Structure 1
Amino acid sequence: MEAVNTQQTELKKPCINCGAEMKYSPGTKTVLCEYCGHTEEIHLDENGFEELELYPYLKEMGAQRHSEEISMLNCKNCGATQHVEENYKSLHCVYCSMPLVLEDQYKEEWILPGAVLPFQIDKQKSFQIFKKWVNSLWFAPDNLKKAALDPQFTKGLYLPYWTFDAQLQAQYSGQRGEYYYETKRVRNSNGKMVNQRVRKTRWYPASGSVAGFVDDTLVEASKQRKGRVPSKIARWNLKLLQPFNSSFLRGFVTEKYTIPLSQGHLAAKGEAKRIAERWCRQDIGGDTQRVSSMDVQLSEETFKHILLPVYVSSYRYNGKEYNFFVNGENGTISGSRPYSAWKIFFAVLVGLIIIGILVVVGR
């Protein structure tokens, strides 16, 4: 594959008015100077996303096409691999808040993102969501609200994912089950004979084929030793994806993929099989189905490297660190939290007292 010039992701964007750093303004298509208020529009590629052919990449992973070098920092505490822009002021790991040593940075080649879902909410909004979440916690210590929270350790992070597209065809054989009911006499708990309606299934042979387009199978492209982003918040509206432009990354941290394309493809093939089985069951029909054999074929396979937004932070309470995560698109939150042993004890005690009263009254 021939090498071509690619868009750089590390170009600085100074403000033309005051020279300060320009940062992406969440929920817009502009970059903003926080000092003088100057804004500039982000110009997107009119051609939209580019789907890359999968097998040339799997065959020639050393090819330079659609790839570039990026400066990386590895956290020695939790193992997270992240790209921090040269002019990013607070060099701390987004997952564990440990300092990152700038002298430890190194260059790595990566496949350029094909698309990015820009942040839709800003850091201040994410912190408001966190405070509301803290106020809603059951069995939390009363003074948790006064815990030492440092907003500077809340970082906007772009997570790497692979997406895969393919035409799917599958031949299957199996059985279609249809329910019917019979009535039989059984003895109930009181020893009395009663009628009971029992469901049974008649099975009929079934075979056929299904075909369709599998669009944007999403596969995570990184893992960390700690601070794994919870599945509860890992849901984004991919219709909001924009053609990749490095301006969307300004002021944020970008995590490099650590799960290679080949491994991501294996996960996507597993998901394609699950999709194929679901289609086969729909094709079989009836009340229930059995799929005994299935031959799945994928063709015209393409992929993209995409970046998805999340806010990551940690807070300390009674000397212990807790993580929380806010989806940067829709504001969904998930996090670890402390519990009050006294509140739990008194809740259990009150519950036992209520049960005891009910038992006495019921006699």
Structure 2
Amino acid sequence: MEEEKKIFSEQKKSCVNCGAELTYKPGTSEIKCDYCGHEETIDQQEDEFKELELKPYLEEMGSLSHSEEITMLHCKNCGANQHIEENYKSLHCVYCTMPLIIEDAYKEDWILPGAVLPFQFDQKKSHQIFSKWVKELWFAPNNLKKAALDPEHTKGLYLPYWTFDAQLYATYTGQRGDYYYVSVPYTKTVNGKSVRGTRQERRTRWSPASGNVSGFVDDTLIKASNQRKNPIPSKIAHWNLQSLEPFNTNFLAGFVTEKYTIPLKDGHLSSTQEAERIARSWSRHDIGGDTQRVHSVNMSLSEETFKHILLPVYISAYQYNGKKYNFFVNGQTGKISGKRPYSFWKIFFFVLFIIALIALIVWLADTYGNQQ
């Protein structure tokens, strides 16, 4: 474990020109100095991502063979657990903006990430995305725009996820449904007369089905943190995992990293439930026909492995009339989502305008009608 810690801690670098800490430059393979502009290429290993065998970790064996001790800060306001790199300038919670007290920092072991999806654009670009989105909002309070457009309220956060791989094998029983059509007579009344005819009705012919399906389930993505107050919207929680890079702490420099709070065993349970859904889907496809019924699926998983990965999101949080609002931007795709307040007066005057417009239309219609 000590060797592992040493390897990863040595990847933090200082600028050779001025001694300042180098930070990751989003969308590149470079780390840069924010003071003098010096840049260096991140030295990436040629090895593939480390897929860890699942069973020893679930049995609490080998949990120290691929782990590291990190410094954590716990937000007493919203409960988020955050690891902030030494060179990160602001000690405020990324979710609720409350100050974090450095004296409350504590040490924890975590399973080292096997891969990271680096930020593909910087804070300035995320600020531009916020700006465009806020400007297009209808009925937004004027001071909402001022709050959301403040770059100091935008933070880059790496979210923890589990990914699971496994060989899936399942047997199933069910029914195959094939459509067929029959002519059905009918009678209807047309102009007071009864008219007879036929129409085609669809029926389903069911036959028993059973069999087995198998295949490789790759990168089942399971969220590894549980933010009850400020969950990441599902609308933006989609990343292209083909762009994952082998884990290197240099990618984290200058950003906040959230530690997983959903244990590996709970993440594995969720991935197993997803595997069962996949097994049912494969069974339906294997049954064929026009429609299917799956009565039972007996599934088993083998050769299970997992990774702890980090995925990028920009977060903006601010207070408005005593209530907190969050905005989220996917750090890879630029997709944005968030909650927003509405201006009572803008809506009020808009409703008055609509009422006045309707009244004007009615008045013009009456005037025109009287002139006729």
- TM superposition score normalised by structure 1: 0.91
Partner of 1:336: 339
Partner of 1:17: 17
Query: Does 2:70 align with 1:67?
Result: no
Deviation, 1:326, is 0.4
Deviation, 1:315, is 2.9
Shift in alpha-carbon separation, 1:147–1:301, aligned structure 2, 3 A? closer
Deviation, 1:294, is 0.9
Shift in alpha-carbon separation, 1:190–1:124, aligned structure 2, 3 A? farther
In structure 2, how many angstroms separate the alpha carbons of the residues matched to 1:198 and 1:312? 54
Shift in alpha-carbon separation, 1:9–1:185, aligned structure 2, 3 A? farther
Deviation, 1:64, is 1.0
Shift in alpha-carbon separation, 1:137–1:174, aligned structure 2, 3 A? same
Could you tell me which amino acid in structure 2 is paired with residue 105 of structure 1?
A
Shift in alpha-carbon separation, 1:257–1:205, aligned structure 2, 3 A? same
Could you tell me which amino acid in structure 1 is paired with residue 136 of structure 2?
S
* Rg (Cα) greater in structure: 2
Query: Does 2:204 align with 1:201?
Result: yes
Partner of 1:125: 125
Partner deviation per Cα, 1:254-291 (whole Å, 9 max, x = no partner)? 10000000000000000000011111100111110001
Shift in alpha-carbon separation, 1:141–1:289, aligned structure 2, 3 A? same
1:171–1:210 contact (8 Å) kept in structure 2: yes
Query: Does 2:44 align with 1:44?
Result: yes
Deviation, 1:196, is 4.8
Could you tell me which amino acid in structure 2 is paired with residue 57 of structure 1?
Y
1:57–1:63 contact (8 Å) kept in structure 2: yes
> Paired residue for 1:248, among 232, 247, 251?
251
Deviation, 1:126, is 0.3
In structure 2, how many angstroms separate the alpha carbons of the residues matched to 1:329 and 1:235? 9
Structure 1 unmatched ranges of 5 or more: none
Deviation, 1:197, is 3.8
1:159–1:254 contact (8 Å) kept in structure 2: yes
Could you tell me which amino acid in structure 2 is paired with residue 244 of structure 1?
F
Partner of 1:134: 134
Shift in alpha-carbon separation, 1:256–1:190, aligned structure 2, 3 A? farther
In structure 2, how many angstroms separate the alpha carbons of the residues matched to 1:30 and 1:37? 11
C-alpha RMSD of matched pairs (Å): 2.7
Partner deviation per Cα, 1:158-203 (whole Å, 9 max, x = no partner)? 0000000000111111100111223342669999877554322110
Shift in alpha-carbon separation, 1:326–1:5, aligned structure 2, 3 A? same
SS at match of 2:4: coil
> Paired residue for 1:259, among 254, 258, 262?
262
> Paired residue for 1:227, among 225, 230, 240?
230
SS at match of 1:5: helix
Shift in alpha-carbon separation, 1:55–1:170, aligned structure 2, 3 A? same
Query: Does 2:177 align with 1:177?
Result: yes
Deviation, 1:334, is 0.4
Query: Does 2:248 align with 1:238?
Result: no
In structure 1, how many angstroms separate the alpha carbons of the residues matched to 2:146 and 2:104? 36
In structure 1, how many angstroms separate the alpha carbons of the residues matched to 2:256 and 2:189? 65
Shift in alpha-carbon separation, 1:156–1:10, aligned structure 2, 3 A? farther
Partner deviation per Cα, 1:206-247 (whole Å, 9 max, x = no partner)? 111111100000000001231111010100000000000000
Shift in alpha-carbon separation, 1:148–1:161, aligned structure 2, 3 A? closer
Structure 2 unmatched ranges of 5 or more: 367-372
SS at match of 2:221: strand
In structure 2, how many angstroms separate the alpha carbons of the residues matched to 1:139 and 1:184? 57
2:161–2:310 contact (8 Å) kept in structure 1: yes
Could you tell me which amino acid in structure 2 is paired with residue 185 of structure 1?
Y
Partner of 1:5: 4
Query: Does 2:310 align with 1:310?
Result: no
In structure 2, how many angstroms separate the alpha carbons of the residues matched to 1:178 and 1:31? 60
- Number of residue-to-residue matches in the alignment: 357
> Paired residue for 1:325, among 322, 328, 339?
328
> Paired residue for 1:276, among 279, 292, 296?
279
Shift in alpha-carbon separation, 1:143–1:258, aligned structure 2, 3 A? closer
Pick which of 12-21 and 234-243 moved more. 12-21
Shift in alpha-carbon separation, 1:152–1:345, aligned structure 2, 3 A? closer
SS at match of 1:77: coil
Query: Does 2:215 align with 1:212?
Result: yes
Partner of 2:369: none
Deviation, 1:348, is 5.9
Could you tell me which amino acid in structure 1 is paired with residue 201 of structure 2?
V
1:10–1:246 contact (8 Å) kept in structure 2: no
Partner of 1:297: 300
SS at match of 1:126: helix
SS at match of 1:8: helix
Shift in alpha-carbon separation, 1:11–1:50, aligned structure 2, 3 A? closer
